[in-house]
Structure 1
Amino acid sequence: MKNKILVLLIITIVLLLFPLFYNHYAIDYSEIKIRDVLVTNDNTNVLVYARVSHFTPDLEKAILAGVPTTFSFKIEFYQDEEFWFDKRLAQVEVKKNIKYDQIKKTFYLTSDFERAPAVFQGFDVAWPAIAEINGIPIINTKHLNQDQKYYARIKMEWENYRLPFYAKLIRIFLSFRDFETDWQSQPFHFQQ
């Protein structure tokens, strides 16, 4: 009976103190932002350009440790309605997967919008390919009207490494976690 009480007491203390230790060692991802958002059009499509401000050193360490990592850029395009809810006209997700081969000292980057994987020899070279989206088509301009107001919004989500099913429970003790940036909005003026 005393052993059961002692075990329950220890579990209770650990559960009560866990948030203090977790917050102390947790990584602050709030400083990572979407920057330099540009929404423009060519002859047929509305195109979005953007980049992530930076990665924390811990994210870079995770990638350099060989952890397969996925970054998802979520883009939404809206028609601005003055007296009603804005109407979403398009939604696009761009996933970028990066894997570092520690033996070959090579980064492999795959993306939804690229046919073949890109190969990079250094993180400083791979960084722009990971952190930027360049000219992603989100909607055909034939669906737009010059008299209407539009805007695009974008955010990035980082999907942490994949643990085996049995190890997912220990993930709460790790400093890495999935996160997402805040939405960044950019108005768009349609020009033919």
Structure 2
Amino acid sequence: MLEVIAGGAVGALLALFGNYLVIRDTRRGRETASEERAAATLLTQLRRVRADPRFLLVIPEKEVFTEECLTAVLAFRDREVRRRLTASIDLITNARAVANQHGEGWLDEQVYNLAFADIRACLEARLDRTRLPKPDADWRAATANLYAYLRGLARQFQDAELEADREREEYIDREIAWRLNDL
């Protein structure tokens, strides 16, 4: 009788372990399929840039490109992969600013190529389930310059808003004083 109970318990544990393995493999398969679809979407968008990067000069098309790329990036489960892919997409969409900030005769195409190479390396590593390669030194410099440039722009906009508010208040004060003098 004890053998039957022990056999039943062992059988139940084996069945539970088998179910666990099936569920785990199914989840991994779904994640892999989702990441493969996202990689295909991302590569399709990058193909558009390679074919004709001038479409990024049209603001609505640039926004659609950015949204489609970032939507694809969100399918990746690894945070570091998402961070790197997002930074590379930012380089592509702001290539002219990066090239101007970096100086030394950089062209938009060089920025595109840096971003394309990093995206390709990230996708290959993720789909092969290997460690992400370290980013290229030029890529790191370009992203650092881009984010410093964007922070500087934000600071300039804030300063301009504060100056406009100050001028508006001065105008209102002069207007009130002028109307009070007329009374």
TM-score range, shorter chain: under 0.3
Structure possessing the higher relative contact order (Cα contacts under 8 Å, 6 or more residues apart): 1
Determine which structure has the larger helix proportion and give its number: 2
TM-score normalised according to structure 2 size:
0.25
Q: Which has the larger radius of gyration?
A: 2
Determine which structure has the larger strand proportion and give its number: 1
